[in-house]
Amino acid sequence: MNRISWDQYFMAQSHLLALRSTCTRLSVGATIVREKRMIAGGYNGSIAGGEHCIDSGCYVIDGHCVRTIHAEMNAILQCAKFGVPTEGAEIYVTHFPCLQCCKAIIQAGIRSVFYSADYKNHAYAIELFRQAGVKVHQVEHSETKHDGEKDELLNDLLSRIKELVDDESEMDELKRRADRVMHSS
């Protein structure tokens, strides 16, 4: 029997939460864990009761969507709301945290960050984690790996088809459809 590790288990939970994201720019999920128990979770989304990017489009200022609260921040704020200590906790995030979330994680007393995908890993965030003694680990997520393999296969197939199909618009349409199916989550 193939038993998944705790790291894979909590990371899977974060990937599941990411599917709840309401911002179309990036689906992120975060799970806060203490003593092998999930104490909070969050995803990239609007304030409770607010408009969603998926309904109204993103509210972009200087290249960032300002409508959403990041997954890590939402998870930490859930702890604040219900009075759950985050001191000494661990956080599992689908993507490497941005600088703002990095600071919030450190300040919340979280001691370890597990992330799945690299995402614009900011040099200052890496430095701040190091200074604060927060351990950062990359956890391979089986689905992420699987997606990579699917993408690779798809690209191989598409380039082979391209050799056979003359019609460019037909080829573009195929690519669009493939993209939609492969990245529908």
Shortest Å distance, C-beta 101 to Zn ion: 3
Q: How many CB atoms lie within 10 A of CB 139?
A: 19
Residues 80-99 that bind Zn ion (CB under 5 A): 98
Dist CA 69 CA 119 (whole Å): 17
Which is nearer to Zn ion, 12 or 93 (by Cβ)? 93
Q: Which of 30, 33, 53, 93 binds Zn ion (CB under 5 A)?
A: 53
Q: How many CA atoms lie within 13 Å of 31's alpha carbon, on the beta-carbon side?
A: 24
Q: Residue 44 in 3-state DSSP?
A: coil
Distance CA 83, CA 81 (A): 6
72 is catalytic: yes
Residue from 101, 106, 108, 125 touching Zn ion (CB under 5 A): that is 101
Catalytic residue of the set 51, 72, 163, 168: 72
Could you say whether residue 65 binds Zn ion (CB under 5 A)?
yes
Residue 26 sits in the site that holds Zn ion (CB under 5 A): no
Tokens (6 digits) for 43: 């995803």
- Dist. CA 82–CA 107, nearest whole Å: 18
Q: How far is the CB of 118 from Zn ion (least distance, A)?
A: 14
Q: Which residues would be at the binding site for Zn ion (CB under 5 A)?
A: 23, 53, 58, 65, 70, 98, 101
